[in-house]
């Protein structure tokens, strides 16, 4: 009972830290975009976490963790509606797990579920209609994410490979799942007005860089729960190693991103520094428990360099990603997943092949499903606001109010 109590408390703390990450995402997104769209972004972030939890309780949790005992393919198994654990007088029932309860497991995993749509929110900021985004969130978080997650974390077919695909805390299962959808959404949506002139990308500065900086620091803190909780116990050795590798990768990602960005663009760009930190965090997430400290620094450093190159590539192919979500979550998510087969305890040819199989599987599934959802919405109700609405701001036109009221004193 003492071991269960300790593990359960740690998992609940980590759940709270992952929940806190949604504030970090919100701060980062509104900080890197324009003032006139602040309320719209906040509304989307609040909708994602509230609807995501309800969808995960209704059927997402069962879709993601169905138990593939009677299905050899391990691809899809819907076990029913609603949460299934019986209400018991003893909340710390040992029949579920030696480290935490059923309810703690649901809540921790539910916090992860909404993150995929939050990644898309930043990529489509400032020009997507609110209603189609809400419909996309319901379908992607409610069905796509838990089905995809079941293939590894639900012990589906990727887990059943001779050399199992490995993703400790979600470089692919969370970040790339959101990143692939962000890529499709940005392509179908088109760039913001004024982003590209004469074929060249133009900077559209965010309105509150201090808030974006606070968002990144909050996200880094939240990653203590994101990766630390993915140990799924309060084991001191495993947990402390995971937190060390997480922090070292974040630091290395930020520093190397800043160095390469300064060399390429001849200026000390704070936003690149911030995204480098996030790139390091995303990259280490797949193998945080398998890496040593120096491995983590290498993985994070490469992630930071990839951020600079990926942001440049996204601009060159004329995609408009206001917050760098594709570079951070997709590119670094893919890199972090590959890194499992190159560094740490699981490094080897067989593991690298399994990692490539997993990356390819999720790419095909997420691109296909997100395209079907968003393209259908585009052809039916439309996904982009009008030119007038975009120029004047989504806050006024989509919500009928603004995030920053004008408190001028009345003249006497």
- Pick from 295, 297, 289, 284: nearest CA to 336: 284
Q: Is the pLDDT of residue 404 over 50?
A: yes
**pLDDT band of 409, cuts 50, 70, 90:** very low
Q: Are strands 196-197 and 200-201 parallel, antiparallel or unpaired?
A: antiparallel
**212-253: per-residue pLDDT in tens?**
999 999 999 999 999 999 999 999 999 999 999 999 999 999
pLDDT above 80: residue 201: yes
> Does residue 391 contact residue 34 with C-beta atoms inside 8 Å?
no
Rounded-to-5 percentages of helix, strand, coil across the chain: 65, 0, 30
Q: What's the DSSP call for residue 229?
A: G
The token pair at 18 is 């992952």
pLDDT at 35: 95
Per-residue pLDDT at 97: 75
User: Which pLDDT band holds residue 199 (cuts at 50, 70, 90)?
Assistant: confident
In this prediction, residue 67 has a pLDDT band, given cuts at 50, 70 and 90, of low
Token pair for 389: 């609405």
Backbone angles phi, psi at 200, to 5 degrees: -115, 140
Residue-level pLDDT at 71: 56
pLDDT, mean over the chain: 92
pLDDT tens digit string along 173-185? 999 999 999 999 9
Residue with tokens 């959802």: 373
As given in the structure block, the two tokens for residue 171 are: 């470089």
What pLDDT, in 10s, does the model give residues 108-128? 999 998 888 899 999 999 999
What the chain holds in terms of domains, given with CATH numbers, is 2-399 (1.10.3430.10)
Highest mean pLDDT among 97-106, 148-157, 379-388: 379-388
- pLDDT classification of 267: cutoffs 50, 70, 90: very high
What are the beta bridge partners of residue 384?
128
Tokens read off for 334: 């893919």
Closest among 213, 183, 142 to 367, alpha carbons compared? 183
What does the buried/exposed string (b/e) look like for 297-317 if buried means 16 or more CB atoms within 10 Å of the residue's CB?
bbbbbbbbbbbbebbeebbee
**Stretch among 65-74, 262-271, 399-408 having the lowest mean pLDDT:** 65-74
Query: Which residues are paired to 201 by β-bridges?
Result: 196
Candidates 304, 301, 394, 287; CA nearest to 347 is: 287
DSSP state of 141: I
For 196-293, where are the E strands, in sequence order? 196-197, 200-201
124 within 8 A of 185, measured Cβ to Cβ? yes
Q: Vertex 364, ends 359 and 370: CA angle to 5°?
A: 115
Q: Percentage of the chain surpassing pLDDT 90?
A: 83
């Amino acid at each position: 009972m003492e071991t269960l109590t300790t593990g359960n408390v740690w998992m609940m703390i980590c759940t709270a830290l992952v929940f806190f990450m949604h504030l970090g995402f919100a701060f980062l997104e509104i900080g890197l975009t324009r003032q006139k769209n602040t309320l719209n972004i906040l509304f989307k972030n609040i909708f994602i976490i509230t609807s995501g939890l309800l969808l995960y309780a209704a059927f997402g949790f069962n879709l993601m963790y169905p138990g593939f005992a009677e299905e050899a393919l391990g691809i899809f198994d819907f076990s029913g509606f609603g949460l299934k654990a019986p209400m018991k007088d003893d909340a710390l029932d040992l029949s579920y797990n030696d480290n935490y309860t059923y309810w703690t497991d649901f809540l921790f995993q539910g916090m992860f579920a909404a993150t995929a749509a939050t990644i898309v929110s930043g990529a489509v900021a400032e020009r997507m209609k609110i209603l189609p985004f809400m419909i996309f969130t319901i379908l992607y978080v409610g069905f796509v994410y838990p089905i995809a997650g079941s293939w590894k974390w639900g012990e589906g077919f990727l887990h059943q490979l001779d050399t199992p695909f490995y993703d400790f805390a979600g470089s692919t299962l969370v970040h790339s799942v959101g990143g692939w959808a962000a890529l499709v959404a940005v392509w179908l949506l088109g760039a913001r007005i004024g982003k590209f002139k004469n074929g060249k990308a133009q900077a559209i500065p965010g309105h509150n860089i201090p808030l974006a900086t606070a968002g990144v620091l909050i996200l880094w803190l939240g990653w203590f729960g994101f990766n630390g909780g993915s140990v799924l116990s309060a084991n001191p050795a495993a947990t402390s190693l995971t937190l060390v590798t997480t922090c070292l990768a974040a630091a290395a990602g930020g520093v190397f991103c800043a160095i390469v960005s300064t060399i390429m663009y001849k200026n000390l760009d704070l936003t690149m520094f911030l995204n480098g930190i996030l790139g390091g965090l995303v990259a280490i997430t797949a193998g945080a428990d398998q890496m040593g400290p120096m491995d983590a620094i290498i993985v994070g450093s490469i992630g930071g360099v990839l951020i600079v190159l990926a942001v440049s590539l996204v601009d060159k192919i004329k995609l408009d990603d206001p917050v760098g979500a594709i570079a951070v979550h997709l590119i670094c998510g893919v890199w972090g997943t590959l890194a499992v087969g190159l560094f740490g305890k699981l490094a080897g040819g067989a593991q690298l092949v399994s990692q490539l199989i997993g990356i390819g599987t999720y790419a095909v599934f997420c691109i296909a499903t997100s395209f079907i959802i968003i393209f259908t919405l585009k052809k039916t109700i439309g996904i982009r606001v009008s030119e007038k609405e975009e120029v004047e701001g989504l806050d006024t036109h989509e919500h009928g109010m603004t995030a920053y009221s004008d408190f001028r004193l009345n003249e006497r």
